[in-house]
Amino acid sequence: MNDCSRTKSLPNIKSNVSDKTADSDEHSDWNGRNTDSLNSEFSTLTHNSDGEDDKDSVNDVEVDAGRKANKAFLIAKELMTSEEVFIDVLKLLNVDFRNFVEIRNKDKNSVIPQSNLNKILNHLPELQTLNEVLLADLKKRILNWETNPKISDVIVKKGAFLKLYTSYIQNFESQTKYLDDCVAKYPKFGKVLKEFESLERCKMLTLKHYMLKPVQRIPQYRLLLSDYLKHIDDSSPDYEDTETALKIVSEVADHVNRNLKYGDKSGTLMHFQSLLSDYELIRPGRELIKDGPLEKICRKSVKDRYFILLNDCLLHTTYSKNSLKIHQELPLAGMKVCCNDEQNNRYCFTVYSTTRSFILCAKSETERNDWVQSLQSAIEQYISRQKTFMNVKIPETNAFKIGKEAPVWIQDSKVTMCQICTAEFTSLFRRHHCRACGKVICKNCGGSQAPLQYDSFKPHRVCDQCFPILLKDYEDSEDEIYEILKINNSGSNVDIQNIYLNNKTKFIKYTSTCKPKFIPPRLKEVSANDADSEMSGVLYRKSRKAWKQYWYVLKEHVLFIFRASEDVRALETIPVLGYEVKHSDVNLENVDKNLIFILEHPHQSPIIFHAETEETAERWYKALKRATLIENLGHELPDSYDELLQSY
């Protein structure tokens, strides 16, 4: 690999900062010091190295212990401060909202009967009383932390009362429904509710939003206590109490989950809400459509994920002990779904969205088709609702729009070379991904950057092929982009114009001075993922010492050989016209003969392959059989076989 310098069309662009930061930090203490002082210190170090090493190791242990203790204190403090925030929410419901309605009751001759208001706020007064006592104890613990670093015993003492949450959570759905019924039955109450929600106190959030907070509080306790337990030693005086407190909180959460009505969609939503403590799952009009585990093909590996399909978005979550953690919320607006060919016995489909795109794998074809059908149906219904509510025409297209939608990144393992210049990757010549199209590229073909619409016009690395397309699209779609900027930014037309012009300066073109290596055209005629090939897939080819795995593509009587399934340049080509395809009569090197097939030609050494399954071997055998027949050639034959070889 040759080192290539790169020139920039625009100045003042920082590069390789992250690579150099570690080195500069590591040697910062040596800057500006003379050689004599360095020699003196080195002499001292060599005479006292044994003693200093022991002291350093002790100091390191003490520093780690100190950091751990400090982190434990910060978590304990967060438990207290989050309790303050939670009690403020309870006061908003029990005190502020109640007083607001009661004042209107006097002014407007009974907006809603007192008994109905009490039913809406059922269990909340008791919860407020419990948590105010809990907060007072937590504050005392934080104030006296230096002399008594304990906090979990407070939870243990109040553990029995935490079961009050069970009643509230189990009745939450009926309480919110009762609120809706009261709004419909008492129109004056509905107006008063809207007045209250418009107050600055509510921060433009609905009453239901605040009523949801107690549902989320128990999972928050569990999360904080789990984190706290990680940062205290088993010799800590708070260790046993923390284990007990965590057990109590987990039992309350599990008890709630067991008693939810799983057959009912609202009950299942409540179940997921209890698992997603830091995400507001339950919202007005939101419904659960489908959920379940799927494998996600990531850049370097395949990972287990859990997906929740709602009527407005797809939630991508990760497993976290006894809960789920939101990784991404993908809106159904602009989403597209399509089935993929079977990959390594996986049943895959691709999800394209405006924020993120990826490939998912199900356990069976039936499960894969069910997910695709559910997603497509949810997208269609969402578009239909938007058309009805907004009375606008939503363009429907399956074409991927560069820069406007997040691309699916091609896996590293499926590419051994740059997908533009075909330079081979090494441990030093690394892979990069174009953020516009998802291709795997080298630094010479991916040094440019451009603002991408799907990420609010933030600048990202893009390849040399995407850069001119993105720049032209940005300049040609000025009016459309202005409208998008107006929606996402407040300000005058002059401000929007300045934002537009500022985004344009983010287009930075890098030009490489590295000359690309000459590649014979025949090796670039077909790519490894060619959609029009007769046959493609993994095969093992026998060499002198072992079977070697490659990716093979059969097209127009030529067998193209690649290192990986997304490479754009073949390693070699084999014109198969005139070859004879045979089955093997014997097992070879512990490989069953039914998996083996052979290409033979009088002028060539036999080429021996084996597939992973008998079905695949038979498909390759038949495809090669057809390709080797001269009568299947659709154009004029060359004068000789040698001439045919020279053409490839």
pLDDT band at 394 (very low <50, low <70, confident <90, very high): very low
Please report the pLDDT score of residue 29 as a whole number: 39
> Residue 479: what residue type?
D
Is 101 in contact with 112 (CB distance < 8 Å)?
yes
According to the model, what pLDDT value does residue 139 have? 94
What does the pLDDT average to over 285-291? 85
Q: Which domains does the chain have, with CATH numbers?
A: 64-275 (1.20.900.10), 288-390 (2.30.29.30), 416-512 (3.30.40.10), 525-647 (2.30.29.30)
Does residue 471 sit in helix, strand or coil?
helix
SS (H, E, C) 328-347: EEEECCCCEEEECCCECCEE
Helix (H, G, I), strand (E, B) or coil at 102: helix
Q: Residue 496: which residues within 8 A CB-CB, separation 6 or more?
A: 482, 485, 486, 489
What pLDDT band is residue 470 in, cutting at 50, 70 and 90? very high
184-228 pLDDT, tens per residue?
Answer: 999 999 999 999 999 999 988 889 888 888 888 888 888 889 889
pTM passes above 0.75: no
> How sure is the predictor about 393, in pLDDT bands with cuts at 50, 70 and 90?
very low
> What residues have CB less than 8 Å from 626, skipping those under 6 apart?
534, 632
Higher pLDDT, 18 or 626: 626
Q: What pLDDT shows up at residue 196? A: 93
Task: Round to whole Å and give the CA distance between 611 and 505.
Answer: 53
